[in-house]
Structure 1
């Protein structure tokens, strides 16, 4: 079976929080953050399997802090586990105040992406090989998270 390093799927995006992206408190809309998360997870999964992917699920999203107008968001994603045609992608979002350099973890999430062939059917993906300590820790708990998703869908 083909294997691919988690590093191949690692994707980083930086976005500026602008007024149209925010609510009346001048903090970014949660829905906007979710759209960014979904986009980077898809890119990460496609880099892993070199196929078109669709979002199958988004696990518990934790909004730990907010980002304000003028802050930048740094999103980082990588594949943490694989099934036959599915990939679990971990996404973390950090906010940085450009005026003082303070960085805060704002959001984390796991998404399940499914690879599709040219006929729109699920197709096999390479297994993931974790390398860093963070990747290995998330990989070790992948089966537990996967089983929890399966149990919740019954």
Structure 2
């Protein structure tokens, strides 16, 4: 299987934010931004793998700053990690105010994409050449995030969940426990 550099599949998308993208409060609708994020993750993963790709998961999307009508939205994507058939695509979303030149970081996110063959089956992807400290850091971070996600998922499976470990912690939360064991 071949290997590719991170730079071989990096993608940038820039789009002017229009009034039709705004929500009821006049800010750009988060759903519109998520749609663009999914598109650029697809483009980046497909460029790396040479295959049609689908979104398997999205790891956390925090909207850090509102996006205004008239700003330029810039989405940057690169492959951070490659598994056998999956890739973690790192995304950074920024806006630029056309009048002032001010740039705001709006969010960063990680999309796990899976390459599919013409029959819809998962298919192997090229590995990643890690040639900078930044690429190694991003790969290692993705490995850790994937490992921690598996552990979290296992801990909360019904057959593994231990209610008594969580009841004391829940008492200090904004919840009323009306549970009888």
With normalisation by structure 2, the TM-score equals 0.81
- Structure 1 segments of 4 or more deviating over 4 A? none
1:22 and 2:30 are equivalent in the alignment:
no
Bigger shift: residues 42-51 or 125-134: 125-134
Please state which structure has a larger fraction of its residues in strand.
1
How big is the shift at 1:147? 1.1
Q: What secondary structure, in the 3-state scheme, does the structure 1 residue paired with 2:73 have?
A: strand
Q: Name the CA distance, whole Å, in 2 between partners of 1:33 and 1:13.
A: 12
Which consecutive residues of structure 1, in runs of 5 or more, have no partner in the other structure? none
Distance 1:81 1:63, change over 3 A: same
Q: Distance in 1 between matches of 2:138 and 2:125?
A: 19
Determine the structure 2 residue equivalent to 1:123. Answer: 123
Give secondary structure in 2 for the equivalent of 1:62: coil
CA contact (8 A) 1:45 1:89 kept: yes
2:14 alignment partner, SS class? strand
* 1:95-148 C-alpha deviation (Å, 9 max, x unpaired): 110000000100110000000111111010011123444333211212101112
- Alpha carbons of 1:24 and 1:132: their partners in 2 closer, same or farther (altered >3 Å)? farther
Mapped to 2, the partners of 1:81 and 1:46 lie a distance apart of 14
CA–CA distance in 2 between the matches of 1:38 and 1:45? 11
Q: 1:50: how far off?
A: 0.3
Q: Secondary structure of 1:141's partner?
A: helix
Residue 4 of structure 1 pairs with residue 4 of structure 2:
yes
1:97 aligned onto 2:97: yes
Mean alpha-carbon deviation: is it higher for 137-146 or for 79-88? 137-146
Asked whether the equivalents of residues 86 and 113 of structure 1 are also in contact (C-alpha less than 8 Å), the reply is: yes
CA distance in 2, matches of 1:152, 1:22: 36
**Secondary structure, counterpart of 2:27 in structure 1:** coil
